[in-house]
Amino acid sequence: MKTYLTLFIALLCACASAAVKLPSIFSDNMVLQAEAPVAIWGKAEPNSTIEIAFLGQLKKTDADAKGAWRLKLDAMPKNKTPQNLQIFESGKLSKTIKNVLVGEVWITGGQSNMEMPMKGYGNQPILGSNEAIATSSNPEIRMFTVKKASSLQTQSDFEGTWMVCEPENVSEFSATAYYFGLMLNKALKVPIGLINSSWGGTRIEPWISEDGIKKFEFVKMPDKNQQGPLSQQTPTVLFNAMISPMVGYGIKGAIWYQGESNRNEASDYVKLMPGLIENWRSVWGVGDFSFFYVQIAPFDYGPSGLNSAYLREAQLKASTALQNIGMASIMDIGEKDCIHPANKKAGGDRLAWLALTNTYGMKGFTGAGPVLKEMTVSGSMVKLTFNNAPNGITSFGKELSCFEIAGSNKRFYPAIASFSLGGITLYNSSVAEPIAVRYAFKDFVVGDLFNIEGIPASSFRTDSWE
C-alpha cells in the first residue's frame, strides 16, 4: 500500500510540475547566443513562479495572469561542453532541455536556393555533397529547420526541432546555410547554431511584418478576413508564421538568399531589401545585427534577356543602403538552364567570409568582391578602377569577355578589355566617344572578373538608361 501511495504522490508531482510549455525553438540540442543577454519565454500556470538554472545562473520571474512569462539569462561566454538547462515551476522541476551549447546563432532565410538541401533536388545536384555529408559529423554545429506555414495573424510558435550535425540530418538541411556554418565553426572554433526559415518560390514581401510592409505604398496589404486557401506569396504571411515565433531568440545575425521571384520589380526590390533588414532589426530590438545576402545567380529567364541583371543591380545598390550588411556575388557559378546552382559551397563560403571579416573582425583575407570605384574616359579608351581589390584584380588567365561600351547613341558593343596598372582598359573601334560601360549585364553570363582573392565582381553598369 505504501508503495502505491508513493507512486501516486510522484505522479501528482509530475502532473503538477508539467505545466511549463516552451516554443519549439527551445528544445534539446539548441545553441544559445554567447556574450549577450539571452531571452527565454513560455507558458505556465497563471501567477506561478518560474526559475531557470543554467551554467551557474539561477534566474526567477513570475508568470502573468494568463500564464505567460519571459526572462533573460545574463551574457555567457562560449561553451562547447553540453549542458542541461532546467526550468522550475513553483519550486518543482518542470522541464530539462538537454545538450545545450553556447556559441554563435544565425538565422538563414529566403527562397529555394536557401531551402535547397545538401542532398539536392530531383535531378539537381549539390556539387561534392556525398563527401560533405559523409564527413559532416560535428558536435559543435546544430541545425533547426522551420516547417513551412503561412498565416494572416502573428503566431507564437512554429514546428521544428534542433538537430545535431550528423549525416542523416545534414542531408536534409539547407546547403548554403550548412556551408556557411561550417566555415564559421572552422574559423572561430566555437559552437554554431543555424535556424533555417525558407520557402521555395516566395517573394520578399511575405517575409516582412505588417508594420514593416506598410511603409511601402506599392505593396497591397492583405485582407485579414479573407477566406479560403492562403497563398504563401501574400505580404506578411511568412513573417507571421515562420519568423515572428522566434523574434527575441538570441542571434548574432542573419543570412539571406532570395530575389529570383522579384526579378521583374527591381525598382521596388532596391527598397524592399533594406526594408526587410530594418524590419527584422526593429522587431528583434537588439541593435543593427549583421545581415548578409547572396546576389541571385545568372540564369536564362527567357526572351527579355535582362530582367535579372536589373535585379542583381538592385541587390548591389541595396548592399550600401544600411550599416553592417553585405552582399556575396556568385556571378561565376550560374547555370544557363538551372536556376539552382550546384555549387552551393561558393555562396555559403562567401557569406561566411563577409561575416568573419565584418562581424568578427578577422584580418588577413578579403570578404567581398571588387566593386567599381571610378570610370575615366580618354578619347576612345575607358579606364576602370575598383574597390575591394587590395591586391588587384584578375580573370585567372581567361579572356575578359563580359564588358560592353556605348556612346551617346546608347548602342552597346563588346569591349576589348585588358588589365592595366590598377584597373582595366576598355576599347571598341565602333565607339569613338564612349560614355557608358556594362559588365556581365545579362540574364545569363559567366562572370570573369575577380579580385586576387577569388571573389567575383557583381554585374554592373554606369548608365541609367531604360
| Under 8 Å between Cβ of 200 and 132 | no
d(CA 169, CA 257) in angstroms, rounded, equals 21
> What is the average per-residue pLDDT within 439-465?
97
Predicted local confidence at residue 74, as pLDDT: 98
Q: Which of 314, 108, 74 is nearest to 194 (CA)?
A: 108
SS3 of 126, please? coil
Instruction: Give me Rg for the CA atoms of the chain.
Output: 25
Q: Which of 414, 411, 383, 396 is nearest to 457 (CA)?
A: 396
How many separate helices (H) and strands (E) can be counted in the chain?
10, 23
Predicted local confidence at residue 18, as pLDDT: 56
| Under 8 Å between Cβ of 373 and 385 | yes
Under CATH, which number does the domain 102-359 receive? 3.40.50.1110
Q: Which of 330, 332, 374 is nearest to 462 (CA)?
A: 374
Is the predicted pLDDT of residue 14 greater than 70, yes or no? Answer: no
Is the predicted pLDDT of residue 168 greater than 90, yes or no? Answer: yes
d(CA 459, CA 466) in angstroms, rounded, equals 17
Distances (CA, A) of 75 to 28, 34, 238, 312, 434: 20, 6, 30, 39, 58
Is the predicted pLDDT of residue 13 greater than 80, yes or no? Answer: no
Torsion of CA 392, 393, 394, 395, to 10 degrees: 180
Strands 192-198 and 92-110: parallel
Domain ranges of the chain: 14-100, 102-359, 371-461
Predicted local confidence at residue 19, as pLDDT: 87
- Among the four given CATH numbers 1.10.150.120, 3.40.50.2300, 3.30.70.520, 2.60.40.10, the one describing domain 14-100: 2.60.40.10
Residue count of the chain:
466
Min mean pLDDT across 4-8, 88-92, 98-102, 109-113 is at 4-8
Reported confidence tier of residue 304, pLDDT bands at 50, 70, 90 = confident
376 pairs with which residues across the strands? Answer: 383
156 pairs with which residues across the strands? Answer: none
The per-residue pLDDT for range 391-416, each reduced to its tens digit, is 999 999 999 999 999 999 999 999 99
Is the predicted pLDDT of residue 131 greater than 70, yes or no? Answer: yes
Distances (CA, A) of 305 to 268, 350, 405, 410, 444: 19, 27, 18, 17, 8
Predicted local confidence at residue 8, as pLDDT: 37
If one compares 272 and 10, the residue with the highest pLDDT of the two is: 272
Tell me how far apart the 2 most distant CA atoms of the chain are, in Å: 105
| pTM listed for this prediction | 0.95
Reported confidence tier of residue 329, pLDDT bands at 50, 70, 90 = very high
Reported confidence tier of residue 50, pLDDT bands at 50, 70, 90 = very high
The x, y and z cell numbers of residue 416, run together, are: 576589348
Mean pLDDT, the chain, rounded, equals 95
The per-residue pLDDT for range 242-272, each reduced to its tens digit, is 999 999 999 999 999 999 999 999 999 999 9
Min mean pLDDT across 7-11, 32-36, 231-235, 456-460 is at 7-11
Reported confidence tier of residue 7, pLDDT bands at 50, 70, 90 = very low
Min mean pLDDT across 170-174, 186-190, 221-225 is at 221-225
Q: Which of 43, 46, 48 is nearest to 26 (CA)?
A: 43
> What is the average per-residue pLDDT within 38-55?
98
CA atoms within 13 A on the CB side of 454: 7
Across 276-312, b (16+ Cβ under 10 Å) vs e yields bbbbbbebbeeeebbbbbbbbbbbbbeeeeebbbbbb
d(CA 103, CA 142) in angstroms, rounded, equals 10
